[in-house]
Structure 1
Amino acid sequence: MGLQENIKAVKEEMSTEEQFLEGMIKGERFFKRNKKYIIATLVLLVLGAGGYAINDVMSKQRLKASNVAYQALLTDASNVAALETLKAKNPKLYTMYLFETALAKGDAEVLKSVSLSKEDPILADLAAYQLSQLDANATAKGELLSGMVLLQEGYELLKEKRVEEARLKFAQIDASSPLKQIAKNLEHYQGLK
Structure 2
Amino acid sequence: MSLKNDINMVREELNSEEKFFEKAVITEKFVKKYKKFLIGGLVAIVVVVAANIAYDINRESEIKEVNKALAILNEDAENSEALRTIKQISPDLYDAWTYSNAVVKKDMLSMKGLTDSSSMMVADLASYEVAQDAKDAKLLDEYASKKDAVYRDLALVQSAIIYMSKSEIQKAHERLAQISSESALRNIANALMHYGVK
Give the TM-score category using the shorter length.
Answer: 0.7 to 0.9
Q: Mind listing any 5+ residue stretches in structure 2 that lack a counterpart?
A: none
Other-structure match for 1:168: 174
CA displacement, residues 61-118 of structure 1 (integer Å, 9 cap, x when unaligned): 1111111111111110121111101110111110100000000000001111111112
1:148–1:179 contact (8 Å) kept in structure 2: no
Task: Give the drift of 1:123.
Answer: 1.5
Tell me whether 85-94 or 99-108 shows the greater mean CA deviation. Answer: 85-94
Other-structure match for 1:131: 130
Equivalent runs, 1:6-155 vs 2, <5 Å: 6-118=6-118, 120-137=119-136, 139-140=139-140, 141-142=142-143, 143=146, 144=149, 145-155=151-161
Q: Mind listing any 5+ residue stretches in structure 1 that lack a counterpart?
A: none
CA RMSD of the aligned region, Å? 2.5
2:135–2:162 contact (8 Å) kept in structure 1: no
2:160–2:175 contact (8 Å) kept in structure 1: yes
Task: Give the drift of 1:151.
Answer: 2.5
Aligned residue identity for 1:40 = G
1:163–1:190 contact (8 Å) kept in structure 2: no
Q: If the length of structure 2 is used for normalisation, what is the TM-score?
A: 0.84
Q: Identity rate of aligned residues, in percent?
A: 28
CA distance in 2, matches of 1:116, 1:98: 13
- Matched pairs, number: 190
Q: If the length of structure 1 is used for normalisation, what is the TM-score?
A: 0.86
CA distance in 2, matches of 1:176, 1:14: 85
Is 1:185 the equivalent of 2:190?
yes
